Amino acid sequence: VLGTLSLVQSELQQSLAKSEHHEFTLFSMVDMWDQQASIQRAWGGWMLMSNITLIGGVSNVGKSPLLLAMVAGYLRGVWPDGTPVPEEMAGRSVVYVLPEGYGEQTEILAEWGFSRQDLAERVFVAALPTPGAPNEPTYTFKLDQGKGMEALHWYCEQVQPGLIVIDGLRAAMTGEESASGDVDRFYAPIGALTRKFGAATIISHHLTKGSETASRDGLLPSMDWFRGSGHITAIPRSAWIVDQPDPNQMELRRLTLVKSAAGPKGQTMAFRMADPADGLHWEAEAPMPPARSKKETAKRFILHMLRRNGVLTHDELWELSQTEGFEMSKATFRDARVDLSNEGKIVHSAKGVGGDYVVKWALPGPPDPIDYDDVVF
């Protein structure tokens, strides 16, 4: 079959070549398969060369120290789990885009044992001249307007990076993160730049407020925890979420692979972090929240679904419990709803529709607003 596809492709391409005016290229299934098979892994399924990786977390969970840990691993030639940096990527420079500043990151890398020479030779911070003071650089600039992207491209031309780090998406973006067109305009030149230099690009971003509650309620991280348009997670080829699922172990973080173009998602790792200057201490076991009764866990799940989706029918709630991989019996589901209703935490309405009796559930008040002004960290 594959041979027949290639033969058909060859004949069609010859036919097109006879035409004086065409601007298309015919791709067979084999071409697409070869392209997928040629993906170069920077770090297993977690990070791919020539592609964008997105890291999400709530404020103060430790996204910036995690990015620094990736920079440190790259400079030392080994990733946090002991996997070596691939030869095609190793030994090159790092370009850091820090819209919120650079001082603390430099101090932490120094605490982790990197010398001034290490940082001077291999880690470069993208900057722009300050208007009226060309010798005074400014490190706060946008990548979707003005000279921001032009400056980043120029830096990459000079140092040929293997790793590009953008700490964080919201601070580097002028447009609306909830507008798919704005998100596409932000990502497009970054993706082209990443492919041109064969680098791996990591960008940090915020999660929704409800994700922190969902994490501690026992739900596994998923792509819909990321804040903004669905295009924010659609364009990167891999995405991670860092969270704190166990409130009794505040130093322990879980890292979950929620999207990968080159491996199974759902992989997890863990690290401990108190003072970032003391480093991130990696562990094999990813933390899980404390065990709760099945009914209590079901109640928390129902509240989370209503916060996220608004009004839901009885059947829609049940279907979500199945598609989200949340295992509970219908009896537990019913008891949880009854308890929440008696406690005044959810309300319902019912009416007949086409001979059926439809019950709709909702929170008693409006959902919590999303705060778009959280500090990037």
- Residue 35: pLDDT band with limits 50, 70, 90: low
* Residues 162, 199 contacting (CB under 8 angstroms): yes
Mean pLDDT, the chain, whole residue set: 82
CATH class of 41-283: alpha beta
Q: What is the pLDDT of residue 347?
A: 85
Q: Which residues pair with 272 in a beta bridge?
A: 252, 281
Kind of pairing between the strands at 47-48 and 161-166: unpaired
Q: Does position 259 have pLDDT exceeding 90, yes or no?
A: yes
| Phi and psi at residue 251, to the nearest 5° | -80, -15
pLDDT higher than 90, residue 207: yes
Q: Give exposure, 254-286, as e/b (b: 16+ Cβ within 10 Å).
A: bbbbbbbebeebebbbbbbbeebeebbebeeeb
Asked whether residue 44 carries a pLDDT value surpassing 50, the answer given is yes
**Could you give the 3-state DSSP secondary structure of residue 84?**
strand
Give Cα separations from 162 to 51, 71, 371 (angstroms): 11, 10, 34
Question: Distance between CA atoms of 278 and 377, rounded to whole angstroms?
Answer: 17
pTM of this prediction?
Answer: 0.71
C-alpha 334/C-alpha 322 separation (Å) is 15
Rounded Cα distance, 20 and 18, in Å = 6
How does residue 376 score in pLDDT terms, banded at 50, 70 and 90?
Answer: very low
Q: Name the DSSP class of 145.
A: S
Looking at residues 293-322, what average pLDDT do you find?
Answer: 82
Task: Look at residue 321 and give its three-state secondary structure.
Answer: helix
- The residue with greater pLDDT, 313 or 322, is 313
pLDDT at position 250 is 86
- Report the relative pairing of strands 347-353 and 356-362 from DSSP bridges: antiparallel
The pLDDT tens digits of the residues spanning 78-131 come to 998 889 999 999 999 999 998 666 677 888 888 899 998 988 999 998 877 777
List, for residues 289-301, the tens digit of each pLDDT value: 655 667 777 887 8
Cα first-last separation, the chain: 52
Map out the domains of the chain as residue ranges.
2-35, 41-283, 294-362
Where does the pLDDT of residue 315 fall: very low under 50, low under 70, confident under 90, or very high at 90 and above? Answer: confident
| Least reliable range by pLDDT among 212-221, 239-248, 337-346 | 212-221
State percent of the chain over pLDDT 90.
Answer: 34
Task: Please report the pLDDT score of residue 38 as a whole number.
Answer: 60
pLDDT, residue 299, reads 83
Alpha-carbon span 311 to 171, nearest angstrom: 33
- Lowest-confidence region among 83-97, 225-239, 255-269, 356-370: 356-370
CA-CA distance, 110 to 38, in Å (whole number)?
37
Could you identify the residue written with the tokens 């020539």? Answer: 50
Structure tokens at 27: 């791709």
User: CATH fold of 294-362, please?
Assistant: Arc Repressor Mutant, subunit A (1.10.10)
What pLDDT digit, counting tens, does each position of 8-18 carry?
A: 456 555 655 55
Residue 61 pLDDT exceeds 80? yes
How many CB atoms sit inside 10 A of residue 180's CB?
15
In this predicted structure, the answer to whether residue 183 has a pLDDT above a threshold of 90 is yes
CA 188 to the chain's CA centroid: 16
Query: In sequence order, which residues have a C-beta less than 8 Å from that of residue 337 and are 6 or more positions away?
Result: 302, 317, 346, 361
d(CA 119, CA 67): 15
State how far the alpha carbon of 4 is from the alpha carbons of 28, 29, 64, 196, in Å: 10, 11, 51, 34
Mean pLDDT calculated for residue range 259-271: 86
